[in-house]
Structure formats: structure tokens, C-alpha cells
Amino acid sequence: MVHPTLEALQQQVVEHLRLIYPEEDHETLAHRLIHAVGAEGHCVMARPRSEPWDQQDLIVITYGDSLRREGERPLHTLKRFVDHYLAHVATGIHILPFFPYSSDDGFAVIDYAQVNPSLGEWADIRDIAEETRLMADLVINHCSSRSRWFEQFKADEAPGRDYFITADPDEDYHQVVRPRTSELLKPVTTAAGERHVWCTFSHDQVDLNFANPQVLVEMVRIIQLYLSQGVSIFRLDAVAFLWKEAGTSCLNLPQTHEIVRLLRTLVSFYDPRILLITETNIPNRENLAYFGNGNEAHAIYNFSLPPLLLHTMLTGDCNALKLWQMSMPPAQMGTTYLNFIASHDGIGLRPVEGLLEEKQIADIATTMEAFGGRISWRSLGEGGLRPYEINIALYDAMKGTLQGPDQYQQARFLCAHAIMLSLEGLPAIYLHSLLATQNDLDKVANTGNNRSINRHCWDADALEAHLVDVKSHHHQVFVGLCQLARLRQDQAAFHPSATQFVLHLGDELFGVWRQSQRRDQSIFAVANVTDQVQTLRLSSLNLIGTQNWWDLLSGDDYPDLHGDIELAPYQSVWLTNRSRETAT
């Protein structure tokens, strides 16, 4: 007799499959998927939606070899750094693709089942996962042209011959939305003759054919492998492009959303603590759709935040950031935003389409080029090009305003992170932001890849020398960000799902009010986003007069609630009513 919880799971999966593959044997396919994820050994239906995160959580994003030491496996070097420097700062580590690859710094996966030997082995991954929540990429849309599956495709051998999308080069693909300028179709000589394969990102990254359900089964098997190695958070890379259908944009199609729902159902049954995060660098409204009805992604990347916060810091005007935050719906129970300012990729510009004017975007791009950055472009469906992302180290992006460089680089950089850490959602900080790494122009010259500018590889010993040098900006920024992160951990009002309201304080001051879920703490987080001294009138905050208010960041008390605070350029305050004994 089938266990009743497995029976319920089987029915749920069948319902998903009916929408994705109307013509398939849904019962058989559902059984294969349940077996592939290893659900029979768990037999635990997903519990009522809860929130497996709180204000203590912070994810650090890094490549497996961002830190190197001669004679040591990079993953071992990374673990030593995490244990020594980040043990009380980060609760999660996102190690970017750590598999054998052929291009795109890991996102053209040759073998999903192996750890790149130049980084280490599965034992190193498990060691990291034992100490912290491990986030890994499921590079789901495409694989390397050097993968075993694609070699089978070229030889016209099973199973790979049916794993890729082929198309007629004479058809009209003008509606297809892509983030690159290369040709969509790549001609390939195979044992069955010349065929043209679909390549959304590059000709070395060949799109997988999810219209073939066996590809979905293979991907679920990969998920199970990663689960067995300690991965507990999955980043679904480029998932918005997953399903292709003639005559459409091939972006955010219904089948794509249903596959995300199916994966959520499977992993939630396996272990309700497993999280799915969708990486969808697309306009804001489309990005929000990946929450579904609380049944798709547990978290979505808040892609509009980096360019809007950059715009704010460059202009000294927070109006666009404020309007966007006011328009954002609170995440449903069991879901949250993943807030970040920098990542291994650039600062995407598509997420601010409709939020910033074209001239404002152009001004950002021009200023970033003046600060040493690069601009990457994308092809438009109707022809032509448009800026797709800015490639620059975030520390260098903050070296000035639209008027040029100034003396406030470090203050501006810390201010941006203070704002990010105060917002509703789960924060993630790129390792190179923690280290205040600057533009790596030599790496760009060596690779020819604009994104290399923000993918520096540190000599671990040289880095540690900087981190103990109190005069080094690396030390100063690292200490400043760690202090902000640790302080945030103790504030119930900064729980990812705590109440948030945007404050109306003019264009020079950005502020939010956060209230803890138990309503026992309020924080008014306010930042001066300009290079001039600004006055914050406490009376504008409507602080409760019977409570004692003080600033978590400076420690200053504010007994006169009708007084003013003079905020220095890029200074932030986190005003709270919580007693000092419980807030620190």
C-alpha cells in the first residue's frame, strides 16, 4: 500500500505535469520524478508554510577560488576564511558554480555531478555545508557544448540527442528576448547532418530541451545529488528562459512557472527547510511573478535594488528608490526578497525599465564608464541594441557622483549597505564588496569578458595583510560592514518579514520604518544620500513620546523628540525604542 503522504505527493506532481506535458503518461512520469528526488525515503509532506529565516541571516556570495593560497585547495582556503572572518557575520555561503566548466566562469557546466578538481572535491563542499547553509547554482537553462550530453547529441546517440533544442534558421525569431548579442542559433555538424541548436547566452552554452520530460528528470536527479552533499538553498540560474515556444518571447512562459512550482513541491516534500531562489534579471513586475501564489520561489532576487540604489547615490535623489519601495508588495508568508547590491554579474539595467527614464539610465552608464566600468549590451527583439548591465566593482562605482569623484567613496559605500540591510528581505553581500575589492582591469584584458572586472582572485595571504592594516580601506570597509551586519542580527524589527513603511522625508533622506512581528521593537532607518549635511527633524517621524529613542549606529540618545539630527554626508541612523540591554 502506498504511504498516504506519498500518494498525496504523487497527485500534486501529476497536476503539475498535466499543465507542462499534456500528452505524457503523468502517473509514470510523476513516479519517476519522486524517485529521482529521493522522496520515498522521507515521506514527509511539506509542513504549513513557515519562514526558515530571521534577522540573523545573511548570505555571502563568492566564487570557489576568489581566495587562493599556494599549495592549498581553494575550497579549503575559502572555508578557513569563512571560519576565521565570517563565522559571526554570515549564516549562508553561496558558492558560485563549482563544477567543471568550459566558459562563463562556471555557468557553462561540463559535468553537473563533479566538483571542479582545480577547486577541490565533494568532501570540501560537505565540510562547508556542515558549518553554514550552503547555496549552490542549479544551472538549469543550458549546459556546456563540451558536456557528455552534447557529445551524444553530435554523435546522434541517446540520451543526449534529444536533450537540446533544434530550430530552423529560416524561421522568424524577432520576438525572442535575449540578454546577449550573439546569434541565437548555432550550426552544428552531427552524425544526422547539420542541425541548428538554440543558444540563449553563448554558443558554448546550449539550451536544454525541457519539452523532453527526460531532461526534467535528469535535472531532478542533479538536485538530489546536491541535497546529498549538503546543499540547502538552490539558485535557479536564468530560469526565466527555460521554455521555448515558437511565436513567443520565450521568456516567462507558463510552462516555466509550472516547472518552478513542481520543483518547489518536490523539494518541500523532501525537506521543508530547502529553499529555491529564482535568478530572473528582468523587469520588476515580471520578476515578482516568480513568487506565484506563494507556491513558486521561496525568494526572488530583488534585481531593481542595485541600479536604483546606485542611481540614488550618484544623484543624491532618492525619489525613484522611494517610489519603487512604496510600490513593492510585502512578500507573502513563506516567501521573501533576496536583497543585494553587487554580485558576480554586473548591475542589471532591465530591472529599472519603467522605473528610471532613459536619460537617467544613460547618465548612470556614462558615470560608471568614467569610474573605470564597462557596459554590456543586449539584442532587442525588433533589432538594435540596448544597455543590459554595468560591469564595475561596487566600491569603485561609489567613488563619486554624476559630477565626478569626491572624498566620500567609503562613506557612500557603507551608506548604500546600511540602506540595503534595513530593508524587508534577506540580505546577501558579495565577497568582493565585503573586501572593498576594486576594478580588476587586468583580468578584463586577459579574458575579454567585461564581467571579469568584478571577479578578482585574491592571494589569501596578501588579503589578510590588508585586513589587519587599520589604514587600509579594505580593513576599514570590512570592519564597517561586519559591524552593520552583526548589529542587524540583534534587531527583531529587521526580521526579513517585519512590517515596513517608507518614510516621506524629502528626496535627500531615504528612510523606512520597520516594526517587529511581535510589535515590541520599532526602528526608523534613515540615510542621508547626499554629499551635503542634511537635517532630520525628529518631529517628522512621529516617535512615541513615552518611549526612549536612541541610535543603534552611533549610540546617541534622543530625549527631545522635537529636536533635529544633523546628518553628515552619507550618514545613517537606526533609531530604535528597544532597550540597550536587549538591542546590543
Residue 560 annotated in ligand binding: no
Residue 104 annotated in ligand binding: yes
Contacts of 330 (CB under 8 A, 6+ apart): 424, 497, 499, 500
Is the peptide bond between 159 and the residue preceding it cis, with omega within 30 degrees of 0?
yes
In terms of Cα–Cα distance, which of 524, 532, 534 is closest to 503?
A: 524
Q: How far apart are CA 543 and CA 336, in angstroms?
A: 28
In terms of Cα–Cα distance, which of 179, 205, 510, 530 is closest to 349?
A: 179
Question: Cα(first)–Cα(last) distance of the chain, in Å?
Answer: 55
- Whether 237 is a known active-site residue: answer yes
User: For every residue of 425-455, which 3-state class applies, written as one string?
Assistant: CEEEEEHHHHCCCCCCHHHHHHHCCHHHHHC
Burial classification of residue 148, based on how many CB atoms lie within 10 Å of its CB (0-12 exposed, 13-18 middle, 19 or more buried): middle
In terms of Cα–Cα distance, which of 123, 136, 46 is closest to 92?
A: 136
Torsion, Cα 97 256 354 200, to 10 degrees, reads 60
Residue 237 annotated in ligand binding: yes
Residue 196 annotated in ligand binding: no
In terms of Cα–Cα distance, which of 170, 193, 153, 194 is closest to 184?
A: 170
Phi, psi angles (nearest 5°) of residue 188: -135, 130
Secondary structure letter of residue 85 according to DSSP: I
Annotated catalytic residue, options 57, 137, 204, 237: 237
Residue 235 annotated in ligand binding: yes
Three-class SS state of 342:
coil
Residue 142 annotated in ligand binding: yes
Q: How far apart are CA 483 and CA 488, in angstroms?
A: 8
Other beta carbons within 10 angstroms of residue 112's beta carbon come to 22
- Reported as type and span, the H/E element at residue 216 is helix 213-228
Residue 451 annotated in ligand binding: yes
At 422, the amino acid letter reads S
Residue 537 annotated in ligand binding: no
At 25, the amino acid letter reads D
In terms of Cα–Cα distance, which of 99, 94, 98 is closest to 132?
A: 94
Grid cell digits, residue 389? 548591465
335-345: b or e for each residue (b if 16 or more CB lie within 10 Å)?
bbbbbbbbbbb
Residues in the chain: 584
In terms of Cα–Cα distance, which of 385, 366, 389, 362 is closest to 376?
A: 389
Q: Report, as residue numbers or ranges, the catalytic residues.
A: 237
Residue ranges of the binding site: 104, 142, 235-237, 344-345, 451
Residue ranges of the binding site for substrate: 104, 142, 235-237, 344-345, 451
